[in-house]
């Protein structure tokens, strides 16, 4: 069994958000949990660098990238009521996208069986020309685009199980037939997008699948939607790589959620995704951290997630 890779850098901790739900303790707790897990010896911790300007502008506008740079280096402050930056956020944001790109590169080349990117700031709300929802650059979108433009993959599927809809990822690939985006999320929750009639446009019609779910949905509801709607559609698409926007804020204990997933539920979801990957793309899964704001629930869920990626 190939090891799973965890992509983490202490520079992520320097993205100082102050008294904010998305804070450095999220990562230090995850990393400590993984390093002391029962499967710690099966994990690799590769080195990686920041995303290039070319990688960032393959998803984001040049104006947006310049705005993030100027906003961060100009001092600490808010880009919107939810999204905080400081001077170190510029390097952290580039490195977060770089981690996802490196993970794709190494997994697609067979160096690791799967990967989990323990990064911040998160990314799935960042649209091509807008930072929002704690997110500066769309880490998973940058990496998915890189996978395709580099020739490592012809088709990429992104499964987003964060409690919030991944509006930024949807926007990045809404007209792209080579990326299939599926999101399971709380209906009507922030940012208010992700309805069933949002299915793509132009050449990308049919490659966006939104599954808005009722408040309080738990393990059974998630598995039902995953097994009957999401995964059959992904299988039909036939990806060379499955990527996961791994938000753990649908956990019953999460203060920003509104769902009732358990830690075991996250294991089951991930295990089911990994089984599909084993069937359609030689097990290649790259997961990128998004939300999760109860530290204990976050650590336990991330540990269960990585355990399932290992096939344990």
Rounded to whole angstroms, how far apart are CA atoms 211 and 24? 31
Rounded to whole angstroms, how far apart are CA atoms 80 and 42? 40
Catalytic pick among 15, 64, 124, 125: 125
Stated as kind and residue range, the H or E segment containing 56 is helix 53-57
Place of tokens 């999204």: 83
Check if 36 is active-site: no
Rounded to whole angstroms, how far apart are CA atoms 102 and 142? 11
Q: Report whether 274 contacts 246 (CB < 8 A).
A: no
Residues that are catalytic:
125
């Amino acid at each position: 069994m190939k090891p799973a890779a965890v992509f983490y850098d202490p520079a992520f901790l320097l993205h100082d958000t102050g008294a904010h739900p998305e804070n450095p303790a999220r990562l230090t707790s995850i990393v400590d949990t993984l390093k002391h897990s029962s499967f710690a010896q099966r994990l690799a911790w590769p080195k990686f660098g920041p995303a290039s300007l070319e990688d960032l502008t393959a998803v984001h506008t040049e104006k947006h990238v310049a705005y993030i740079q100027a906003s961060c280096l100009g001092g600490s402050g808010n880009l919107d009521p939810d999204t905080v930056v400081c001077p170190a956020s510029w390097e952290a944001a580039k490195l977060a996208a770089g981690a996802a790109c490196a993970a794709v590169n190494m997994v697609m080349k067979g160096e690791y069986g799967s990967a989990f990117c323990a990064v911040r700031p998160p990314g799935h709300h960042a649209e091509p020309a807008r930072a929002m929802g704690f997110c500066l650059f769309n880490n998973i979108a940058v990496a998915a685009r890189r996978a395709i433009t580099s020739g490592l993959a012809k088709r990429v599927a992104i499964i987003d199980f964060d409690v919030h809809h991944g509006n930024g990822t949807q926007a990045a690939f809404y007209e792209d037939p080579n990326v299939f985006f599926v999101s399971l999320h709380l209906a009507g929750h922030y940012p208010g997008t992700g309805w069933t009639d949002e299915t793509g446009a132009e050449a990308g019609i049919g490659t966006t699948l939104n599954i808005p779910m009722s408040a309080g949905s738990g393990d059974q509801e998630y598995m039902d939607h995953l097994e009957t709607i999401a995964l059959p559609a992904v299988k039909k698409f036939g990806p060379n790589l499955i990527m996961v926007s791994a938000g753990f804020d649908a956990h019953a204990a999460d203060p920003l959620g509104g769902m009732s997933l358990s830690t075991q539920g996250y294991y089951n979801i991930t295990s089911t995704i990994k089984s599909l990957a084993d069937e359609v793309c030689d097990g290649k899964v790259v997961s990128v951290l998004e939300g999760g704001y109860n530290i204990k629930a976050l650590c336990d869920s991330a540990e269960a997630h990585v355990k399932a990626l290992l096939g344990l």
